A = this chain, B = another copy of it.
Amino acid sequence: MADLQSVLDDVAREAIEATDRGAVANYIPELAKVDPGRFGIAVALPDGQVHCAGDAQMAFSIQSVSKVFTLTMALGKHGDNMWSRVGREPSGNPFNSIVQLEQEQGRPRNPFINAGAIAVADLILSGHQPREAIGEILRFIRDLADDGSITIDERVARSETAHGDRNASLAHFMKSFGCIDHPVDHVLGVYFHQCAIAMSCRQLARAGLYLAGEGRDPASGAQVITSQRARRINAIMLMCGHYDGSGEFAYRVGLPGKSGVGGGILAIAPGKASIAAWSPGLDAAGNSKLGSTALEHLTRRMGWSVFGS
């Protein structure tokens, strides 16, 4: 096996020199301001050690990567009952598609497309005001990352709200089928704030470590979730974590992963590592272009693919 730090340094160097960097998300103005030249990567190991390269300490908007953590929370709150509200199959469609939602009567295909994550936000709200639910999500992530300094970028949250018509459409659609319990603006309030959480690669890799460790945070020793649930979240990440680019990510990288339009990706090598990569430029499916490439190279050199070393 190659030396991890030198692999990370190589990967970061390649990424920084790359000329074809994809396009920074522009669906909300705040995200469009990010410097496309950035690249960071971090690997958290089972012993809690974190190796970094590039801009790994710089916070970015985690966006849909947050869906991994809210899915974990919803499973904790509602157990397998939650699957009556949301499926766990790949959708074969873009992240914000509404077509399948009409065919399937308001039940989203999986918790990682936007509609599914909005349904999960609704589940997290149960018995709470939006502010409380948002606080709970933030605390959960801070605990996982062992870092109380993580915050929500309020400008991003406001920008999401101001340009959130597509997500509002999905939420009202599910509401019309009775698949959402709380008022649409409450649910969207939670969803837009979870997407606006800002984290660095270092923090994100650290926060994902429980998924690499059978549901147990190896540093603190806390059992965040059962080992079976950890495996299952990993399965859903692999199948659905990159929208209609999930097959491509599995083919090239071979790890469970979840991307966000902020350019971040959290990937899990079960038993071996939790990895966060970040580069703001996206490919056509809305996944970080250089982030995917970096993870492909890292996985190959470290022999971490779940499909064979």
Residues of A at under 8 Å CB distance from B?
87-93, 97-100, 102-103, 109-110, 165-166, 168-173, 175-176, 184, 212, 214, 227-228, 230-232, 234-236, 238-240, 244-248, 250-251, 254, 256, 270-271, 300, 305-309
A-B contact pairs, 8 of them (CB 8 A): A92-B100, A99-B99, A166-B176, A172-B172, A234-B307, A235-B254, A238-B250, A306-B306
Residues of B within 8 Å of A256, CB to CB, are 307
Inter-chain CA distance A117–B246, complex, in Å, is 20
- List the 9 closest pairs (A to B, CB-CB), nearest first: A92-B92, A89-B247, A90-B90, A165-B176, A169-B172, A234-B307, A306-B306, A270-B308, A169-B173
Interface contact B184-A173, CB-CB below 8 Å: no
Output the least CB separation between A223 and chain B (Å). 14
Nearest-CB residue, chain B, relative to A27: B176
Choose one: B170, B235, B246; the contact of A90 (CB below 8 Å). B246
Inter-chain CA distance A10–B231, complex, in Å, is 23
Q: A102-B97, A172-B166, A232-B251 are in contact. Are A227 and B308 (CB under 8 A)?
A: yes
Interface contact A184-B165, CB-CB below 8 Å: yes
Interface contact B234-A239, CB-CB below 8 Å: no
Inter-chain CA distance A204–B96, complex, in Å, is 41
Interface contact B214-A308, CB-CB below 8 Å: yes
Inter-chain CA distance A246–B92, complex, in Å, is 12
Residues of B within 8 Å of A102, CB to CB, are 97-99
Interface contact B236-A238, CB-CB below 8 Å: no
Residues of B within 8 Å of A306, CB to CB, are 270, 306-307
Residues of B within 8 Å of A271, CB to CB, are 308-309
Interface contact B307-A235, CB-CB below 8 Å: yes
Beyond A89-B248, A90-B239, A235-B247, 15 additional contacts (C-beta under 8 Å) are A91-B92, A92-B92, A98-B169, A166-B172, A169-B169, A169-B170, A169-B173, A169-B176, A214-B308, A227-B308, A232-B251, A235-B307, A236-B250, A240-B247, A271-B308
Nearest-CB residue, chain B, relative to A180: B165
Residues of B within 8 Å of A109, CB to CB, are 92
Inter-chain CA distance A138–B246, complex, in Å, is 33
Residues of B within 8 Å of A99, CB to CB, are 98-99, 102-103
Inter-chain CA distance A82–B168, complex, in Å, is 26
Residue among A102, A270, A300, A307 with the highest chain B CB neighbour number at 10 A: A307
Output the least CB separation between A42 and chain B (Å). 21
Output the least CB separation between A293 and chain B (Å). 16
Inter-chain CA distance A230–B308, complex, in Å, is 8
Nearest-CB residue, chain B, relative to A212: B308
